[in-house]
Structure 1
Amino acid sequence: MALTVLLLQLAVRILAFPLYLLHFLGLWNGMCKRCFPFLLVRLTSVYNKQMASTKRGLFSSLQEHGSPSGKLCLLELGCGTGANFKFYPPGCRVTCVDPNPNFEKFLIKSIAENRHVQFERFVVAAGENMHPVADGSMDVVVCTLVLCSVENQERILQEVRRVLRPGGAFYFLEHVAAEPSTWSYFWQQVLEPVWYLLFDGCNLTRESWKAVERAGFSRLQLQRLQAPLSWALVRPHICGYAVK
């Protein structure tokens, strides 16, 4: 089976040779950073429709983690186009962090469409180093479809714990590796090399639940599910929250 995966990966790489050539020449990354937001607008629209009930259920308890004054300071890590704004409670104060500055104009549009949230600022930074965000300044950190593409999950989660106040919560919704010995996992392995380039560093076979379990939160509520998505490759998901 391992040999079959390697042979099919080779075939995929040959078919995607122009893509790899652009990557080798150092041209693909810049093109991807500029074009990916346009692709993500379409993908997140479909994802939100298919995952609406899951997101509503996940985010229904956000307000419980607000400050005693009733305000909820929320940081969205890897905010993308602002696809989660519609699921946040009214009056929520949102800070967005993303390493790609090309998302800003899409965020502005999403803010205009979701007047029930209060937008604070957009910080262009990698999640591994969110130094513009003060220690213990957030009630909630939200991370959806982000841990699949970050360079260092452990460092990301350290930063999440740093910016959360004591008792604050980390909410996550992530696609992950399928169960070993399944056809889904087989094709995740085969297509991962080209998927990584097409979708801005996204990995299909990450076991992100392990990083969350090791992160040192005081309480963890984690659920594995098969998401009702059109693409079987990204149906395996985890979702839940962890309390600092």
Structure 2
Amino acid sequence: MALTIFILRLAVCILAFPMYLLDFLGLWNWICKQWFPYFLARLTVMYNKQMESKKQELFSNLREFTGPSGKLSLLELGCGTGANFKFYPSGCQVTCVDPNPNFEKFLIKSIAQNRHLQFERFIVAAGENMHQVASGSMDVVVCTLVLCSVKNQEQILQEVCRVLRPVSVGMRRALFNRAQISAIPWAATRQASLSFTVSRSLLKLMSIESVIPSNHLILCHSLLLQSFPASGSLLISQLFTSAG
């Protein structure tokens, strides 16, 4: 068994050697930023076909969180190519954040295909530091299939809390009682395995008044591509909302 493991590890190292070399030369990150948007654009088409009904369910109640202005302000964190745009309600004001500037041209194409949205701007920034987004300026923050690859989950959640529109403490508690924490089948992916960790971080943040004095986070269904027939695991969603 030890010999088998050693051989498998050696095979993986040999296969991965070109990537390690490119990373050592400082080229791997550049290549990923250049080509990943093209890969994701193709993947998005297949993913949305598989998950269309789930996404429609997840985003079906977004209008409930419309702010006093009468328009829904939505921030998508890790927007990629705009895979979620078609599921947002008409008139939604969308601001996108992604650390990869090469997604912009794909976002422009996606916005052109989703004329029902009002595109505000594309911000090149990491989710851990969204200083370009004003505090209390968003009704909804959407983050799908992103938290598995960030450097600091808790810092991102703190930023989410900061940009969400404030509500009263009483309203926050009332809405939290309505939170949809669902026991649904989950996939054997790193994204799913992080769900419990992220949910604990969220609940920890919500329990500290000094961290989020007047924000509310609603937990909804997670979106997963493949699932097992049965599972009792609780999943945290990546849709964060604030309602007034």
TM-score in terms of structure 2 length: 0.75
Take 1:242 and 1:95, find their aligned partners in 2: how far apart are those partners? Answer: 14
Take 2:220 and 2:78, find their aligned partners in 1: how far apart are those partners? Answer: 20
2:149 alignment counterpart: 149
Take 2:110 and 2:118, find their aligned partners in 1: how far apart are those partners? Answer: 12
Unpaired stretches in structure 2, ≥5 consecutive residues: 180-185, 207-215, 228-233
Take 2:191 and 2:10, find their aligned partners in 1: how far apart are those partners? Answer: 17
1:41 alignment counterpart: 41
- Render the CA deviation track for 1:193-220: whole Å, top value 9, x for unaligned: xxxxxxxxxx667514322332223554
* Counterpart check, 1:101 vs 2:88: no
Q: Compare the two structures and name the one with the higher strand fraction.
A: 1
Q: Report the secondary structure of 1:45's partner residue.
A: helix
Take 1:110 and 1:125, find their aligned partners in 2: how far apart are those partners? Answer: 20
1:24 alignment counterpart: 24
Take 1:57 and 1:139, find their aligned partners in 2: how far apart are those partners? Answer: 19
Question: What letter corresponds to residue 18 of structure 2 in structure 1?
Answer: P
Matches within 5 A, 1:173-212: 184=188, 206-212=193-199
Kept after mapping to 2: 8 A contact 1:78/1:96: yes
1:221 alignment counterpart: 219
Take 2:201 and 2:4, find their aligned partners in 1: how far apart are those partners? Answer: 33
Question: What letter corresponds to residue 155 of structure 2 in structure 1?
Answer: R
Kept after mapping to 1: 8 A contact 2:219/2:238: yes
Kept after mapping to 2: 8 A contact 1:97/1:123: yes
* Counterpart check, 1:163 vs 2:163: yes
Take 1:4 and 1:111, find their aligned partners in 2: how far apart are those partners? Answer: 51
Unpaired stretches in structure 1, ≥5 consecutive residues: 172-177, 189-202, 230-235
Q: Following TM superposition, by how much is the alpha carbon of 1:82 offset from its aligned partner in structure 2, in angstroms?
A: 0.8
- Render the CA deviation track for 1:27-60: whole Å, top value 9, x for unaligned: 1110110110000000111111101111100000
Take 2:5 and 2:131, find their aligned partners in 1: how far apart are those partners? Answer: 41
Q: 1:103 to 1:2 in 2, by over 3 A?
A: farther
Question: What letter corresponds to residue 90 of structure 2 in structure 1?
Answer: P
TM-score in terms of structure 1 length: 0.75
Structure of larger gyration radius: 2
State how many pairs are aligned: 210
Kept after mapping to 1: 8 A contact 2:141/2:239: no
Structure 1 window deviating more from structure 2 (15-24 vs 129-138): it is: 15-24
1:200 alignment counterpart: none
Superposed CA RMSD in Å reads 3.1
